[in-house]
Every structure is written in structure tokens, then in C-alpha cells.
Structure 1
Amino acid sequence: MDPIVSNEVSIVIPTHSERRWYSLTRTIGSARLQTHPATEIVVVVDHNPEMAERVRRDFPDVTVLENAYARGASGNRNTGAFHTRTPFIAFLDDDTVASPDWLARQLAPFADPAVVGTGGGIVPAWAGIRPTWMPDELLWAVGVSYTGMPTRTAPIRNVWSANMIVRRDAFLAVGGFRTGFGKVGDQNRPEDTELCLRMSSASGGRWMYVPHATIDHEVPAERSTFGFLMRRCYAEGRGKVQMAGLLPKEQELGAEKDYLRRTLPRAVARNLVRAGAGRGGYHALRAATVVAAVLAAAWGGGVETLAAVFESTAHDGTL
């Protein structure tokens, strides 16, 4: 695919720890090698002056900024995005490697002025062997594309900030990512989904998913355990309830409902059929994993709902 030479784009890469140094260098390297060259590569360091100085020293051709907001990826991304001057802003995480035609492919849908943002496919780069009990429908839990997403370029409600491009004017119009609402500590709130919904609502525009505009996303060994999956699903349940509280009443979580009503039941049925046909006992484990994931998310959602009710009644003085 030929690059769209008229579309100037900056790439923003948030980072925070020297433990990610090797990964960060690979991310920067892939950003440099795009067939559609970026106008500027911006690395934003989250309250770590020593690391910021190291990036400046080792990558003199890269713009290095320090997070101007409270600690967290949302403020980190905003710091970089607000600095840029190009019509488009691309975001990569510091543990990803973009394919050479990533920018070219993902910029293509912006030929339609109604498109406010795009996202691309995220491929898992497992540190070890992928767990046999992990169904494709739950791969979102390790930050990669999962079964149920479009297989060709198509409209989508939201994309992930690990692989996202936005129109700068639409992004600035809503104030960027919601700071203080994201993945900080044990919180796992979907700041990227919330941004996508705000941008669509404010502009009347839409998001497009470009599955072949791929990046590889590292999946460390500690994220390949059943315990991690359950904690992640529990946190997701809490985060979605928190996000729902920020949305207008008429803006329901339709994608989540469809996923629960259609995608996951099909996953259970398909794996049970395969297990019953003798195609591998791990299929039964995958079916059981889906059920456990739903229960963990429901538990998290219930806890967050009760916490919100308690906080509301305490604030009203009824307790």
C-alpha cells in the first residue's frame, strides 16, 4: 500500500520505567522505519527525570518530554499529543513493535472526513508459550486483538490506545484523554474506550478498525497465568461500571452487551463441542475459562456498583 504523503502525523510513545528500556528502543526503532515517515516522534516519560535524560542522550532525533500531569498514561499521552502540531496523532505503547506499513494502512480511512480516529490489529508477542486454556475471545485481557473484532476494515465503537491514530482537532476539542481515569496502580479503567466515546459523541464522527495495520504487543510471562486473567476480568468489571457512570444516560454499553450475549456463549458452545468430539481436552478448559471470566467481571461490576451506591448515600447523608 502506498503511503499517504499528504497526511502529516506525529507518533506519541508514553513510557515510565527503565525496566522497559529494551522494549522502548524497539518501539522507537519501528516508529522510525515506517513507509509513511512520521513528522515527529515524541517520547513522554512519566515522572522519571533520570530516564528522560537517558532517552534524550540515546535518541537525539526524538522529542523527549516529561509528563505535565499526575502520574499515569493518560496525562503522559496528553502531554505528548498537546505538544504536536500535525493534523494526525498516532499513539504506541512502549512495549509494542509496529509493522513497517502500520501508519500508511491506518491513515487510509481518514480520506473520509467523518472518521475521527482509527485503530489497528494488535498481535500477541508471548514471552513464553501461550496458555492452552486461553480462548481467543479473551485475548483482550492481555491487550491484543480478540475473536469478535472485525476481520476487515470496518466501523467500530472504540479502539485501544496501544495502537490508535486520532484527528488532532477532534482530540483537542474534547480535551484529550481523561486524566485521573486510567490504568494506575490496581485501577484498570478503560480510558481509551472513554475517549473514543467522547470524541464520537462530540463530533458525530466515527472510528474505523484496520486489522491489517498491525503492531506486536509483548505479553510477559506474569500475564499468562489464570490468576492474572481473573484479576484482569475483575478489574475490567469495575472499570466498565465506572465508565458507565461518566456516559450520558442514552449512551449504553452496547458493545459489551453484544459481547456477553453473543461472542462468549458461542465460545463456550464451540469449545464444548470440540472437547466432546475428542479434539483436545484443552477445549473444555477454554470453555470453563470463559465462564470463570464472566463471573470475575460480574463480581467486579457488582463490587463497584455497591461502592457507588454506598458513596452516593453517604454523600446524601442517608447513612
Structure 2
Amino acid sequence: MASLAVSVVVPTWQRPQLLERCLNALAAQTLAPERYEIIVCDDGPDDETRLLVHRFANAHRPHGLTVRYLAIKATQGPAAARNAGWHHAHAPVIAFTDDDTIPDARWLEAGLAAIDDDTAAAAGAIVVPIPDPPTDYEADASGLERAEFATANAFVRRAALHTVGGFDERFTSAWREDSDLQFSLMRAGGRIVRAPDAIVAHPVRPARWGISLTQQKKSRFEALLYYKHRRLYKHRIARKPPLDYYATAIAALVAAIGAAYGAIPIAAASALVWFALTAHFFARRIRGRSRDWRHIAEMAVTSALIPFLSIYWRIRGAIHYRTWFL
């Protein structure tokens, strides 16, 4: 263990085929196998994943590569799984990636080259291949390429993780837990650098119809991040609330109240405003996107519902975390 330079922590949840692809890429690293270990944190856990990791570990042990399996039973969510992983790690640097990524062969070498003794963390580059034109979901997923700091590709000193307490396990979904770690490191005085040569590919997984509706639940974690890091949140993420969403919801509410009380002119005018705002939102989302009729239908339906769901989850998060967050 004394020769270990980096521990790779991979959280997973019932995706053994994707995990196997990621593990194969990790085993093909140019870094000498005795200099890194792989820790798979199974946030299920399930037998298929456990057997896969054990087979993989046995196959690569003769070459000097250590692969360990952790069954995460007491916690749920990638933040908690990553915490379990780095707490069990032996190397001074922790490399975080996801089970659906494909790290480049030089990923570990490039990441280690970027992080020196005066650096708390390094953010690698993420490549998200998408078709042309993409669906709205694919285009949204490609935003990872522009992320300042994402745990799909991050190197963090274990000492720095101890300083800030690791990941906040209140982030139970894969959303904003990486920004929270980034902001915590910054507030603790840690220096975060870029590692542009440390590359992972992050192919977009197929998504079910209407996925953007269930994704609105993540808005509650915006409130948690705002509660913890108000100044950094305003500066780095959102300078103002989604006023168009609020305007859309208010117009629909006024239209409904007007219709209920027989104020037809007010109801009609408000309904027209709601329709115009919704149509504008739809047009913005569909611009440059796939013109498949199923995708167009999905965009029409979800564009009408997203403002209400987003506001609901934002307000719910604000109430839960007792913060003024719109």
C-alpha cells in the first residue's frame, strides 16, 4: 500500500454492464497497476455487481492491480457512497469517477500530474458525445463538458476531504453534491486547478419519455446548496431566480381563479399570457434539437409542466432547509 499514488472511487447502482465498461478502461491505465487501487461502492447492493467486481479483481490481481468491493447498506445516494469509498482508500489522492464513464488511458497519470502538494483538488475534462441534432435531454447532459468541477472526473487530496468532512450526504441524488464539495474546499482555502489532459468520456444513457419532469426533483438541492454557500451560489451558478417559470405559473393561476369566479376577460388574458410564455419556452428548448415527432410531443407536454414542477420543488427545498430561496 505504501506505493499507492491514487485510489479510484467508483459509486454504482445496479448497472453492472456500464460498470464493467468503466472498469475495463480503468484497468487499461498507463499508470503502473501497483500505483493505484479501484474501490467500487455498490449503493444497492446487488449480487450481479458483487460477482462482477470479484471476478474482475481476481483477473487483475496477478498483474498488481487491487480492486475492492464495498457494499453500501446503511446509506443511499452517490455522495454517501463516495464518502464510504474515500474513507476506505489508502492513497493520498482520491480520483472520483462514475460507473457510466470511460476514462482515457492516461487519465490517472494526467490527473496526478496536475495535483501538487499545494493543490487541494483538480478538475479533469469530460467529453459527452451527442448526435447532431441532439434531443433536449442529450443537449442538457452535454452541459457536463462545461462544468467547473464534477465528480465524474475529479482528483481530491484525502487530507482536503478530511478537512471539509467529505461530501454532504443530504445530497441524496446526483445533483450539486460536487458543487458543494467544490465550494467547501474553496471556503477552506483549498486551491482547485484544471487538469485538461485528464479526460473521461461520458456517453449519454438512453432516457425514458418525460425524463425532464422527474429531473425537476433535483431543484430542492439547489436550495440546500444556496443555504450552505449563498455568495458562491450567486456568483458561480445562478444570479437570479427563474422569473419566467414564476410568471408562467402566476398566469396559469390567475386564469384558473378568473375562470372559477366568472371573470372571463381576466381569465382569457391570463390564459393567453400563459400560452405565450409556454410556447416561448417550448421554442427555446426545441431550437437546434431533434425533430422526431415523439421528441416534439415530449417537448410540448413537458414544457407545459416543467415550470410548475420546478417551482414546487424549489419551494419545498426552501421550506425544508429554512432558507429564502426562489
- Cα displacement (A) at 1:283: 3.5
Which residue among 171, 174, 180 is the counterpart of 1:181?
171
Between structures 1 and 2, the one with greater helix share: 2
What is the CA RMSD across the aligned residues, in angstroms? 3.9
2:237 maps to amino acid: E
What per-residue deviation string (whole Å, max 9, x for no partner) do you get for residues 15-49 of structure 1?
221xx222211211111221223421111212425
Larger Rg: 2
2:277 aligns with none
The alignment-based identity, stated in percent, is: 26
What per-residue deviation string (whole Å, max 9, x for no partner) do you get for residues 260-289 of structure 1?
99xxxxxxxxxxxxxxxxxxx953889x99
Q: Size of the alignment, in residue pairs?
A: 264
Between structures 1 and 2, the one with greater strand share: 1
What per-residue deviation string (whole Å, max 9, x for no partner) do you get for residues 167-209 of structure 1?
11001222211123131xxxx541111111112212x123223
Q: Does residue 165 in structure 1 map to residue 135 in structure 2?
A: no
1:192 aligns with 178
2:203 aligns with 218
Unaligned stretches of 5+ residues in structure 1: 1-5, 150-155, 262-280, 314-319
Unaligned stretches of 5+ residues in structure 2: 62-66, 243-285
**Cα 1:252/1:55, change in 2 over 3 Å:** closer
Which residue among 97, 116, 123 is the counterpart of 1:119?
123
Alpha-carbon distance in structure 2 between the residues aligned to 1:250 and 1:282:
33
CA contact (8 A) 2:224 2:321 kept: no
Which residue among 238, 255, 268 is the counterpart of 1:257?
238
Moved over 6 A (4+): 258-261, 292-298
- Cα displacement (A) at 1:8: 0.8
Alpha-carbon distance in structure 2 between the residues aligned to 1:284 and 1:107:
38
**Cα 1:58/1:306, change in 2 over 3 Å:** closer
Which residue among 37, 40, 48 is the counterpart of 2:37?
40
After TM superposition, the score normalised by the length of structure 2 is 0.67
After TM superposition, the score normalised by the length of structure 1 is 0.68
DSSP 3-state at the match of 1:222 = coil
CA contact (8 A) 2:125 2:195 kept: yes
Q: Does residue 89 in structure 1 map to residue 94 in structure 2?
A: yes
Alpha-carbon distance in structure 2 between the residues aligned to 1:95 and 1:28:
10
CA contact (8 A) 1:177 1:191 kept: yes
CA contact (8 A) 2:9 2:38 kept: yes
DSSP 3-state at the match of 1:283 = coil
1:142 aligns with 141
- Cα displacement (A) at 1:165: 0.8
